[in-house]
Structure 1
Amino acid sequence: ETTATENLQECEERIEKILTKRGVEKENISGFAQRIRELGSLPNSELEKVKNMSIKKLMKSLGKVNEEVKKYSHVNKKALDQFVNFSDQREALLKRKAELDDGQDQIKKLIKHLDRQKDEAIMRTFRGVAKNFREVFKELVPHGRGELVMVTASDNPQTSSGSSEDPDIREQVDQFVGVSPRVSFTGKGDVFRMRQLSGGQRALVALTLIFAIQRCDPAPFYLFDEIDQALDANHRRMVAALIKRQAVSKEAPTQFITTTFRPELVAVANKTYGIQFQNKVSSMKELNKPDAMEFINTIAAEEGGAQQSEKKRKAASAPSLVSKRVVNDR
């Protein structure tokens, strides 16, 4: 009985060891299965190759694989973690790039919109000034004609007849470098540029541009200093008449303060003031129309006498000279 009991206990211990070993092997099988799943799905063709292989052949094949794996024992084992980290960074950078690209597109659209508004404003203002230039020049020179053109960097003028809706003109706005008057005082033949005109003609064209701009963007008052000095009598009358019309215009009434030595501006002035400079002292007094005209005529007589003789011109430059000027207030 004692021997049978010992044999039974021994068998139980052996069974317990076997069961324990069996449990360990099951855990190993589960671990290997998990590792196989982590490697990815095994192609059916490869599965068929090893499905019917014996354990001995499988172990031999495993040994060969392990030998091959040893060649890569120095591979960076953190490569996978680094790859995942860099992949996340790449995704974040790509997302940021997409946001920046979208922002850039929005900025480009805004710049394009503002450029279009700027170009349209430039062309709209230019057309308005060019239209007024033609009208004002016609008022000052009834038998003449004038136009205002834009000049590009290549000195290729674009006439004022263009439309702001023309995409070609909008593209050329950035090439514009200025404006240039083209005028003819006879209305016949070729038109002339500023450098081809006389001093009086240049002064008249400059006044035309000032009045053209004034009609587009009126100012409350203008101060003109001897603008009629280089003009002949006929053009002085035309300028005086234009100033009078502008001063009482219903659309944009404007005050003009001018200085002159000529009678034409005095004739249309509402108020006149005479200024004298004698012995280094200036004095000013208000004059009525007849006195102002006499004041001007006196100056004209003095100038006429000074032109007749070199001796009189030298005498006129002596310290006792009286300088006279009339200020007109429209």
Structure 2
Amino acid sequence: MMGQINFNAYQEYREQSTKYEELLQKKEEIAESKEKLVALISEIDRIAEDHFYKTFQKVQKNFQETFSKLFQGGWGSLELSNDKKPLEAGIEVLAQPPGKRVQNISLLSAGEKTLTAVALLFALWKTNPTPFCFFDEIDSALDEANSIRLASYIKDEDLKNSQIIIITHQKEIMKIADALYGVTMDKLGTSKLMSIRMAEERGN
């Protein structure tokens, strides 16, 4: 037994059919957009990895050279934790100060850690030089011998028109400065800024 006849069935069918065709077209457009987006992401990743590897190799080379100069020998290296996914990988710092075996930076003494960190900072700076380098007591953990090494490196390094500003209490670092700025306090407890042009003091 048949029920009531729906005289609007054909019209409803056409409306639903039109909606279906529209949704099907949107699905195809979304699939096409997804393919383009995936391809774009892959291309961006490829370019990013290429730039990363090139920069990493430059930093690696600069780090090895700087490490050797600061420690007056020894060996330092940077290694990726995952070569297959460099953009997601960590970077491990390996160091071998003169007369010691290769070890992770976490196992070094405070002074050795400081010099290794400074070597990495200068390696990054050499890769992409900036007009200014600002260091806040980077030599605080260094003994006199290592302070002399750091001072000698900074003095002899080609700064390429860059200026290095260092907050320090180490006299060895102060000796190589072109200018010294300090804050003193008088008997009344008032702070006073003082400056010394070292070139003039040296008679240059």
Give the TM-score category using the shorter length. 0.7 to 0.9
1:266/1:289 contact within 8 Å kept: no
Q: Is the 8 A contact 1:133 1:212 kept in 2?
A: yes
The letter of the residue matching 1:268 is: I
**Structure index of larger Rg:** 1
Q: Is the contact between residue 63 and residue 123 of structure 2 (CA under 8 Å) also seen in structure 1? A: yes
Residue pairs, 1:170-181, within 5 angstroms: 172-176=85-89, 178-181=90-93
Whether the 8 Å contact between 1:134 and 1:147 is mirrored in structure 2 is: yes
Residue 185 of structure 1 deviates from its aligned partner by 0.7
Match of 1:282 among 163, 169, 191: 191
- Give the structure 1 partner of residue 131 of structure 2: 220
**1:140 has 2:90 as partner:** no
Q: Classify the secondary structure of the residue corresponding to 2:43.
A: helix
Distance (whole Å) between structure 2 residues aligned to residue 199 and residue 188 of structure 1 = 15
Residues 92 and 266 of structure 1: CA distance in aligned 2, closer, same or farther (over 3 Å): closer
- Preserved CA contact (<8 Å) 1:267 1:289: no
Q: What's the TM-score once normalised by structure 2's chain length? A: 0.81
**Contact map agreement 1:272 1:289 (CA 8 A) in 2:** no
1:205 corresponds to which of 107, 116, 123: 116
TM-score, normalised via structure 1 length: 0.53
1:118 paired residue number: 48
The Cα shift of 1:273 comes to: 4.3
Deviation per residue, 1:191-243 (Å, 9 max, x gap):
22232121111111111111111111212112223322322333222211221
Distance 1:272 1:81, change over 3 A: closer
Give the Å deviation of 1:183: 0.5
Aligned letter for 1:232? D
Looking at structure 1, the residues matched to 25 and 96 of structure 2 have their Cα atoms a distance apart, in angstroms, of 65
State how many pairs are aligned: 200
Q: Are the structure 2 counterparts of residues 277 and 227 from structure 1 closer, same or farther at C-alpha, using a change threshold of 3 Å? A: farther
After TM superposition, the runs of 4+ consecutive aligned structure 1 residues lying more than 6 A away are 289-292
Partners of 2:136 and 2:7 in 1: how far apart? 90
| 1:8 counterpart residue number | none
Cα 1:82–1:273 shift into 2, 3 Å: closer
Aligned CA-pair RMSD: 2.8
Specify the alignment match of 1:267 in structure 2: 175
Higher relative contact order (CA 8 A, sep 6+): 2
1:253 aligned residue (154, 161, 165):
161
Percent identity over the alignment is 29
Structure 2: unaligned runs, 5 residues or longer: none
Q: CA deviation at 1:102?
A: 1.5
Aligned partner of residue 272 in structure 1, secondary structure: strand
Q: In 2, distance between residues paired with 1:88 and 1:228?
A: 75
